[in-house]
Chains A and B, each alone.
Chain A
């Protein structure tokens, strides 16, 4: 009886197609997604996809210029665009391999709510970065930046490098989602820019494109509110307490010097001064001078670097205080360390952010 039952279940399972068997060849592997506004008020979504089937080489295959292509699909929503792509190619769209999501800054007014909801429900890894770009996201996605490298990998590495260097905030889907779900909390989403340089003439091996993070767009409560430059973004990382490494260029009496600050440690403390939150931030780190004028004094370089750090923090403070966007998690600090005071704000900490006083100390030591 047991065997008969097992046989029935197994054969029914195999014959009924209950598992919705979808072979790997029926999958369309997407490497990156670019979202632009469409003329009819919906979205034009560009998908950089893998198309390695035509590759006749028997060697290893990876996402390279020759094995990727960009497909475009329109829809009133992102889900509709995905469905359109599915119908267009006849394949299941697989978003589990997405490396980067690029949103055109033309969509700043739209807000991030729909995007976040769509990506949370899809196969997209919750650690994938989502960034804004200047101009068309489709062009960014389809850019061939370097021989043999797909744009998605390179763009992701550009973003990750900027985050590592504390020049941009990490903007993983989970981080954006967490930041925007609190009323006054905000996040600076990196702004990616692809610039076309001067024409390199007949030499086609020299790329005239450059790509980089040039700043960020501050998003509060799913809605982008303002732009931030690269220095302000670095200041946000410092005041938020999650900067690890930073490269600085400073001017000394002898000329410009560059130094790399590593092993940054930031201690933040919450207090109150005259009813306003007083945030004491102590920044310490180890520096390595990368280049300096021959007769420059090290102490001067370090002193200028410390001042530069304070200046970055000041830029970030001003950005936050102008509109009361909580870029540094002040609300959560108050909730944690001063729960009685948090009641006064009733869950909205924008006033606290505006009135916050910062006491920042920076001290660098030699490597």
Chain B
């Protein structure tokens, strides 16, 4: 069966949806000022741009799959590492999304069913290949864009620019915290590596397009959250969700549930992509996707019950290690090997 491929734009949007999913289920512990968060995001994006250089060069120079490049005889070995990494990411994402559902819509769905349904749908999506996910991702992106524009236009909150303050010494600690969180949450790098072989062309466009899009959208969202909600974010926990909760029209009174609907669609698509990556070492992708989903559901239950958070110490290290090793070191090594191979061929 030929390898199904997606375009650079589709990959860019899948990476973006994955990042925005993380931002949405990011539960703010303290949000005294938006400035350190906005600056942290800016600096972490710059660091991500540097970390992305090896993989962008590798794929731009015609590299197809870092695992096959490094271990031509046993590429599955490395792919298993990617699978494990994204299994944990998928499980934790669903656990946090379940936490969000329980926090904001506790009477709607029980935790067990939210985990099972998301993974069942994700397994179905993943089993149909990355093309469907890429195309669906584009639709979900525009759905998000439309929803945000609409919610912003009917938002009842007033803007208070006094909420935007310059950085002070007190903001340094949250700044570094957000910076660390931003860099460790850059799992788009290993995601890019894993999906690189499915990319038709335009690695640089996908990677740097993603960074620009992420920076612009998230900075805009953080800016709006800061000037509209300010300290109330501390109370609500989910800043982006709260922004939607302040929108109101005569026809649709509240947007909380509509916001959640789009988040849930995004969750299925994003987790579907993670599950698809997990099936890469499998010789039977369809069966593999259901097996990966079952494992992911198990991890999600454990994460949910243990109350794991993205910015918890151990998980922070796990995420960061994945970003550095699987997202930067592996493509860098593959790039060196590719270079040596090309030189030998000459």
Please list the residues of chain A having a beta carbon within 8 angstroms of any beta carbon in chain B: 1-2, 5-6, 9, 13, 18-20, 22, 96-97, 120, 125-127, 174, 177-178, 181-182, 242, 329, 332-333, 335-336, 339, 342-343
Chain B residue with the shortest CB-CB distance to A127: B156
Is the C-beta of B165 less than 8 angstroms from some C-beta in chain A? yes
Cβ A181 vs Cβ B234 within 8 A = yes
CB neighbours (8 Å) of B158 from chain A are 242
Is the C-beta of B148 less than 8 angstroms from some C-beta in chain A? no
* Residue in B108, B164, B168 whose beta carbon sits within 8 Å of that of A19 in the complex: B108
Q: List 14 A-B contacts (CB under 8 A).
A: A5-B290, A9-B113, A18-B113, A20-B110, A125-B245, A126-B236, A126-B246, A127-B246, A174-B157, A178-B230, A182-B231, A333-B162, A339-B166, A343-B168
CB neighbours (8 Å) of A2 from chain B are 124, 290
With known contacts A333-B162, A336-B164, A126–B116 Cβ distance under 8 A: no
Known: A335-B168, A343-B168. 19 other contacts (CB 8 A): A2-B290, A5-B120, A5-B290, A9-B113, A18-B113, A22-B107, A97-B253, A120-B236, A125-B248, A127-B157, A174-B229, A174-B232, A178-B230, A182-B231, A332-B163, A332-B165, A335-B165, A336-B162, A339-B166
Cβ A6 vs Cβ B109 within 8 A = no
Q: Per-position contact with A for B244-279: 1 when CB-CB < 8 Å, else 0?
A: 011010000110000000000000000000000000
Q: Is the interface of B mostly helix, strand, loop or mixed?
A: loop
Interface size on B, residues (CB 8 A): 33
With known contacts A6-B120, A125-B254, A332–B110 Cβ distance under 8 A: no
Cβ A18 vs Cβ B112 within 8 A = yes
Question: Within the assembled complex, what's the spacing in Å between the Cα atoms of A6 and B293?
Answer: 14
Cβ B235 vs Cβ A177 within 8 A = yes
Q: Is the interface of A mostly helix, strand, loop or mixed?
A: helix
Is the C-beta of B317 less than 8 angstroms from some C-beta in chain A? no
Is the C-beta of B139 less than 8 angstroms from some C-beta in chain A? no
- Tell me the smallest distance from the CB of B265 to a CB of chain A, in Å: 18
* Residue in A126, A329, A335, A342 whose beta carbon sits within 8 Å of that of B232 in the complex: A126
Cβ A96 vs Cβ B108 within 8 A = no
What are the nearest 10 A-B pairs in CB distance?
A332-B162, A18-B110, A181-B231, A336-B165, A20-B107, A174-B232, A127-B156, A178-B231, A120-B235, A18-B113
Question: Within the assembled complex, what's the spacing in Å between the Cα atoms of A97 and B248?
Answer: 12
With known contacts A96-B254, A126-B232, A339-B166, A174–B107 Cβ distance under 8 A: no
CB neighbours (8 Å) of A22 from chain B are 107
Question: Within the assembled complex, what's the spacing in Å between the Cα atoms of A262 and B230?
Answer: 28
Is the C-beta of B47 less than 8 angstroms from some C-beta in chain A? no
* Residue in A19, A242, A339 whose beta carbon sits within 8 Å of that of B113 in the complex: A19
Cβ A336 vs Cβ B248 within 8 A = no
B residues 124-171 with Cβ under 8 Å of A? 124, 156-158, 162-166, 168
Most buried by B among A96, A97, A181: A181
